[in-house]
Every structure is written in C-alpha cells, then in structure tokens.
Structure 1
Amino acid sequence: MTSSPTDRRIRRAPERHRPQVLFIPSYRDERMLEGICQYAFEAGWVLDLFFYRTGTIPKDWHGDGILCLLNLPNWSPNMKRFILAQREAGVPMVDLALNDPQVKIPRVLQDDRAIGRLAAEYLISLGIRRLAFCTRTFHHPYKERFAGFQEIAAQKELPCSLIQIPDDFSAEEGLPVEFQQEPPSIDQPLGIMAAADPLANWVIQACQVSGLKIPENVALISVENDRYLCELGTITVSSIDNNALRQGYEAARLLDRLIHGEEAPEEPVYIPPGALHVRESSNLLAVRHPHVANALRQIAQRFRDPELKPAHIAARIPMSARRLHDAFVKYVGRSMYQEITHRRLQYAKKLIQETDQKMWDIAQSAGFSSPEVMSRLFSRWFGHPPSYFRRLK
C-alpha cells in the first residue's frame, strides 16, 4: 500500500545556526556600527543592539559572542558583573577600545598614533613650522594621537605645544597666553590638530576671540571626518577619517573567527587611518615662499604624470634648481622627489581602499611605472605592501 502525498514527511535540511552576537559600546559611533552590521549581514548573524539603543543589559542573554568597548571603571556594577560573568563562561569577546588595558582580551583598534603622525606631516607639508595639539581629556586614543603628532614634530625639530580645553568648553579667553604674546601670522602660521571633530569648533571660537583667522593665521585639522560637524559650521574643517567603519567590520570578522574556534591573536589588530579630507580650515597654502608654493602647486596638479621629475618642476620656476631644492626642503620638510612620491602613494592607497581596480591600473593611474615599483615604495613608506591595504577594504 502506497502512502498518499499528505502522509509523506518532508525532509528538511537542518537550519544553519546563526551566531547570536551582542554589541556593548561605551559610546555611540554610527560608522563603527555600520561596519559591524555590514559583516553581520554577510555572516548571517543575529545581532543584538538592545544595549546600543537603550543602554540596558538584555535580560537572560545567552549568545555566542560579544563586541564591546570596555570601560569597566565607568560602568555600573550590573554591567561589570554581566561582562565578567560572560568572560568566565568562555563567551568570545572582542574589544574595540583600550580603556582597560589590564584586561586581557582580543582587540581591534584604530591606529591613533598613525593618525597623529599623518596630521603633523600634513601640516608640515603646508610649510608650517609651529604646531599645537588641542584636547580636553586624555583618554587612550587622544594620548596616542598626541604621541604620534609629537613624534613627527620632534623628528623635524619643531615646537609642539599642548592646548587644554577648559572643562566647561568656554572659549571666551581665546587661545592660551603663549599664542597671544607671540601670535601666529601669515608669514609664520600655527598648525593645530584637534583631537576629534567636536573639539575643532572650540578652536575656531578661540581663534575668533584671539583675533586670528583660519586658515590665514591658523591651519586647523581634526579627526573622525564627521560630515555634519565638519561641513555645517562657520568654517568647514579638514579632518582625517579614523576608519571606524573598517574597525567595526574587522572586529566583527575577528569575533566570527573566535566563535568558530580559531585562536585569538596575542597582540591588538590596528586599523590604519583612512583618507585626509581637506576643507577650508587648511585649504590655503601656508608656504610663504612663492617659488616653493609654485612648486607644490605644480606637483599637486601633475604628480600622476609618470614622466614628472623635480627637474621638470624646476624648469618652470625662475630660480636655480639647487636653490629651489634647498628652499623646498626647508619649507616643506622633504625634497620635491619625496613630495611627488608621497602624493602618488597617498592617491594609490585611496584607490586600493575605496575601489576594486586592479593593482596594475592603480599603479598606472597614480603615476608609477609598474605595480612592482609601487609595491616596493609602499613597503618602504607604510611598512606593508599594497595587498595589505586591499585586505582591509
């Protein structure tokens, strides 16, 4: 006797387990969340954002992994107990901050020291020879940014001051006394790095109180590249993308590997900074040597030409090649050849991280004679080959 179709059982393939992941930040960062969500979609996670939206620990949570920005000293006793209980239970965790370095946990961090170095190098490339770092607090990311900023200033033997923002954010007294006694001028401008975009507005207000113009007297750069903060103020602000989206994505990817039994890395994974977005706050060439300024403009316009050499630049400037070279190094801090290479590398790095173009096409577009030449220069300047930055894409 044969069974009817209604009697037959339909055999279903067992459903694949979807990892249950909880995100517990100590502050809200929409771009970091976007990176986490991007990976969650790709990996088929169940992502619990209850804490992110409400600040409340979900009751009776039993999941597979936790992404967090640890901040145990400032968290409530309930939150501390929850996190410690999950660690004791062996739930995989990845931290996206370094507020609690004594807690040994896998981490994916922004390379804040590299961010500080990039900011200083950019300001110096404008011909600025007086630097300052502006912050209100000194939690870990700001400490690292200041350290990187100071490192480049020390290498170039340039003065580097610290501007401490008052607790009440009042700018009514302007910049510190040292800048009022020896105010920056058009011939000797000041370059300020604000530790983060929200602090740049204080610098703008303090400069106004002190009678200083941005960017004529003060070139300003900040970090995070929050478009609303950088583009909707009285002055649009140049800013470095801290790559929070990539950080979120890579942290999620690391957690996924831990959930599936891989060994945790012994050292933190550092995410390099993204692009520097130049806006009004630093868009005037601070170099006051007209021939050096001319050379910089030519390089900016022509660096993608693979035939471009310093001699071609010098041929268009009414100054001997030797004197132009010496003046360029004095005002910019590197030779014309190094400036051409620097711009090509930055352009290529941007294409590698933001497009799917082949390395040959990128090398050609950036002005390199071949991908091999580009790769050697990447390793020399950045410490990694181009493929490293493509993997971070």
Structure 2
Amino acid sequence: ARYAEKAGWNLDLSWVHDSLLPAKWDGDGILCIAGVNASIDRKVLHYHKPTVNIGNEHEFPAPRVAADMDKVVKLAIEHFTQRGFKHLAYYIRLGTKPELAKCRVFESGAAAAGVTFHAINCSSGRDRERLRQLSRQIARLPKPLAATAQMDEFAVELIQAGQIAGLRVPEDLAVL
C-alpha cells in the first residue's frame, strides 16, 4: 500500500462485487485474483496490460504471486486445535476452483490433526436468504465450532450467521 501511494496508484476494488470493470480505464497494470469470475478473467486479459495474479488459480496466463495455501491452512488448524477445538468447518461461498481447492486442503489437514471436518456450502441466494440458510447450517453443527473461509468478507458472513443462530462468538463459533 505504501508503494502504491508513492507510485500514485489507485487500488480500486469497487468493481469486484458487481463484476463491472471501468469502461475507460487506462491504468499501468492489473492485480487480479484469477479463477473467481471467468468473465472478469477474460476482460482482464483483454486490456493487454501487465498483469499479476495474486490468487491461487495456476492456469491463468499471467505471473502469479500467492500465499502458500498448505501453510496457511496448517497454521489455521494449529491455531484452532491449540485452543481445544475438535470440530472445524470451511465455508464454501462461491464454489470457485481456488475456494474448493482450499477446502480440500483444510479437510485433509483436519483429518491429519484428528479433528472432525464439516463443509458448509451456501453458495446461492441473496444476502439475507443466504445468511438465514448459513445460520441454519451452522446451528446444526457440533459446538464449539471453529470455521474459516476463503476471504475475510465471507468470514464476516460466518460471524453474522452465527449471531443470527444465537451462538456466542467466539465461544460457540470461532472464526478465522
């Protein structure tokens, strides 16, 4: 962020949620999270600007800089198990390839740690409907439950759904 400020970059993420790229944009380059939205992936490539993929999609034709997913998941599971959690969950919000890949790594890591794993799949519906559906799924799972998701904003949905279900956060539902 400091370099972006010095370079005069505008790190604009406002288009992410409505899938609309700026019509007359003339930037220096693109940082993208490939594999989340095929339409946006195609548009990004159409710009013919220097592009760096900061996601976990390996097949996107641009240089990639990403976190070590195995290490991230291992640290998350250690964090939860060191605090006594025996029931772990992963929230599948979009069903993208990177999200499903991380879910599989999380499931394997939970098995290796000797704890139970639950996939929470709530990838459809409008916001309120999805939160109600998510809260019902969370309410049915054993407690205390520790959960995570692909992105911070999805983790916030877990917290909101837990509160709708009447759970205490983080006592009944811990979210990372």
Q: Does 1:191 align with 2:152?
A: no
Equivalent position to 2:94, from 124, 137, 140: 137
**Counterpart residue type for residue 82 of structure 2:** S
On the 8 A contact 1:135/1:164 being kept in 2, the answer is: yes
On the 8 A contact 2:88/2:117 being kept in 1, the answer is: yes
Partner of 1:273: none
Partner of 1:175: 136
**Counterpart residue type for residue 151 of structure 1:** S
Query: Which structure 2 segments of 5+ residues have no match?
Result: 15-20
Q: TM-score scaled to structure 1, two decimals?
A: 0.35
Change (3 A) 1:37 1:161: same
Q: Return the index of the structure with the highest Cα Rg.
A: 1
After TM superposition, the structure 1 = structure 2 runs for residues 216-231 of structure 1, keeping only pairs within 5 Å, are 216-221=171-176
Q: Does 1:119 align with 2:76?
A: yes
Runs of 4+ in 1 over 6 A off after TM superposition: 50-54
Change (3 A) 1:139 1:114: farther
On the 8 A contact 1:130/1:159 being kept in 2, the answer is: yes
**Counterpart residue type for residue 163 of structure 2:** Q
On the 8 A contact 1:113/1:146 being kept in 2, the answer is: no
Q: Distance in 2 between matches of 1:202 and 1:93?
A: 30
How many residues matched? 163
- How far 1:50 moved relative to its partner? 9.4
- How far 1:97 moved relative to its partner? 3.0
CA displacement 1:319-356 (0-9 Å, x = unmatched)? xxxxxxxxxxxxxxxxxxxxxxxxxxxxxxxxxxxxxx
Q: Distance in 1 between matches of 2:150 and 2:43?
A: 32
On the 8 A contact 1:116/1:147 being kept in 2, the answer is: no
Identity across the alignment (%): 20
- How far 1:176 moved relative to its partner? 1.5
- How far 1:52 moved relative to its partner? 7.0
On the 8 A contact 1:131/1:153 being kept in 2, the answer is: yes
Equivalent position to 1:206, from 137, 158, 161: 161
CA displacement 1:150-175 (0-9 Å, x = unmatched)? 23211122211111234323333423
Q: TM-score scaled to structure 2, two decimals?
A: 0.69
After TM superposition, the structure 1 = structure 2 runs for residues 56-135 of structure 1, keeping only pairs within 5 Å, are 56-58=24-26, 66-69=29-32, 71=34, 73-75=38-40, 80-83=45-48, 93-99=51-57, 101-135=58-92
Partner of 2:4: 37
**Counterpart residue type for residue 54 of structure 2:** L
Query: Which structure 1 segments of 5+ residues have no match?
Result: 1-33, 87-91, 222-393
